[in-house]
Amino acid sequence: MNMEKQKAGGFAAWRNLLLWKKIAIALMLGAILGVILNSTGNETAATSIKVVGTAFVSAIKMLIVPLVFVSLVCGMTSVSDMARMGRIGLKTVAFYLGTTAFAITIGVGLALLIQPGVGIELGEAAAMEAREAPPFINTLISIIPTNPVAAAANGNVLQIIFFAIMFGLAINLAGEPAKPLRNLFEALNAAIMKLTEIVISFAPYGVFALITWVAGTYGLDVLLPLGKVIFALYLGCLIHALVVYGGLVSMLTRLNPVRFFQGVIEPQMVAFTSTSSSGTLPVTMTAVQQNLGVGRSVSSFTLPLGATINMDGTCMYQGVAAIFVAQAFGIDLSTGDYFTIILTSTLASIGTAGVPGAGLVMLSLVLTSVGLPLEGVAVIAGIDRILDMARTALNVTGDAACTVVVAKSEDELEEDVYNVPHALKTPV
Ligand code: ASP
């Protein structure tokens, strides 16, 4: 009888915990279980647990297309001022590009300081095909979807953004006859946000499964030789988050940056374990709106755009990895080479899709630009998941930081919500 009471009490305590605490506990327990499974030779058990994580990630991905489309149309119909939309767009792009410049500088600086590739002997690796960069103008034009249904079916976020903006504008311009449509989108939005909350409530289980799988499949023997690259990237991500994002949020909004970091902890943890910033988008959207008080008209634009083009973690990773490969192969880079790495890393990060491992594919582009051996990609591939976790967490933090800064400047941030400590808010 007592045992049963205790059990019921335990369940109730777990149910009432705030979501981020549940995710944090899941993260720790999963990591411990994974290490135990790995060291006892039970890697297959760790791999079979992954299925729960895959189910969770699929469920969040299911939300991306309807969420981006519906919330952006609603965002557009709630602002009829075109000049304001243009201003928000400019500020967003400026923030994204500016912070990316900081990220690559920190990455290159740390790689030169820590020298992750010195002393590594690279073994034989399979030759890999380099990826060609598409011409810039083609990339621009391809944002216009020739078939919006195909854009939705393929999950092409930039094309969906374009169509949603045009559609929202058209609803505004059509005026009275389109009013029912506007109401319909409001209703759809309410339902989709609810669905998002339901899916996100499963995050602890998904996170637990994914981290168990990672910790269970990467043994220490894989990680130790490349420990310095991992260290350089993790340190760089931490510095960038705290100094650049924390600094910009506090300088540009005059708000407490600690609240910012408390508010984004859920998307950070989901990004860390799922390694997909596009996949994390619904979680990021809910967090900035509910925890940080950002208005929908800003976040429904800045976040999907950020999940597609703003990847500071990926950019920093390209720089660190390229210098690692040069050092490991004993190749000297000239000043011009460093500039090329900075430029191609920035472009590659803009072109990287917000999905697991996409940055690794783009690394071949950066390496080829300065004539580094593509075998380097194969070496990095061995530990890419670990690097992907940090860079994806940084990518979503950057999207959220930009959203807060732009929202504050547009008077779209409810300070009462922002200033309430996260721990006092009701669980999602
Ligand atoms: N996984 C990263 C993201 O989704 C992209 C990358 O591989 O760098 O943001």
Residue 413 phi/psi, 5-degree rounding, is -125, 125
Structure tokens at 261: 């970091």
Query: CA angle, corner 389, sides to 105 and 286, nearest 5?
Result: 100
Q: Check residue 74 and give its pLDDT.
A: 85
Q: Check residue 119 and give its pLDDT.
A: 75
Helix%, strand%, coil% for the chain, nearest 5:
80, 0, 20
* Distance from C-alpha of 367 to C-alpha of 363, rounded to nearest angstrom: 6
181 CA → ligand 1 middle, Å: 36
Residue 365 phi/psi, 5-degree rounding, is -65, -45
Q: Which residue has the tokens 């080829």?
A: 368
Q: Check residue 252 and give its pLDDT.
A: 96
Q: Which residue has the tokens 């519906």?
A: 70
What CATH number should be reported for the domain whose range is 19-424? 1.10.3860.10
Structure tokens at 184: 């319909």
CA-based nearest residue to 165, from 140, 150, 144: 144
The residue contributing the CA closest to ligand 1 atom 1 is 356
Query: CA angle, corner 162, sides to 73 and 313, nearest 5?
Result: 100
The residue contributing the CA closest to ligand 1 atom 8 is 359
Query: Which sign does the torsion angle of CA 352, 356, 360, 361 carry?
Result: negative
Whether the CB-CB separation of 145 and 69 falls below 8 Å is answered with: no
* Distance from C-alpha of 413 to C-alpha of 75, rounded to nearest angstrom: 14
Residue among 60, 345, 360, 388 to mutate when testing ligand 1 (max atoms within 8 A of CB): 388
* Distance from C-alpha of 171 to C-alpha of 10, rounded to nearest angstrom: 51
Give the rounded distance of the alpha carbon of 263 from its chain centre.
Answer: 15
424: DSSP letter? G
Task: Tell me the β-bridge partners of 294.
Answer: 413
* Distance from C-alpha of 296 to C-alpha of 91, rounded to nearest angstrom: 16
348 CA → ligand 1 middle, Å: 11
Per-residue pLDDT of the chain (428 residues), as tens digits, is: 566 667 677 778 888 888 878 888 998 898 899 889 988 888 888 889 989 988 988 887 888 888 889 988 887 787 667 788 889 989 999 999 999 999 999 999 999 999 988 876 654 444 445 555 566 677 678 889 999 999 999 888 778 888 998 998 899 889 899 999 999 998 998 898 889 888 888 889 988 998 898 888 876 666 677 888 999 999 999 999 999 999 999 999 999 999 999 999 999 999 999 999 988 999 999 999 999 999 988 999 899 989 888 999 999 999 999 999 999 888 889 888 999 899 889 988 887 878 888 888 888 888 888 888 887 887 788 788 899 999 999 999 999 999 999 999 999 999 999 998 765 454 44
- CA distances in angstroms from 375 to 133, 310, 326, 378, listed in the order given: 19, 27, 11, 5
* Distance from C-alpha of 308 to C-alpha of 301, rounded to nearest angstrom: 11
**Which residues approach ligand 1 with their CB closer than 6 A?**
275-277, 311, 314, 352, 354-359, 388, 391-392, 395
Whether the CB-CB separation of 214 and 388 falls below 8 Å is answered with: no
Q: Which residue has the tokens 């369940």?
A: 11
Residue among 350, 391, 396, 399 to mutate when testing ligand 1 (max atoms within 8 A of CB): 391
Structure tokens at 74: 């609603």
> Ligand 1: which atom is nearest the Cα of residue 349?
8
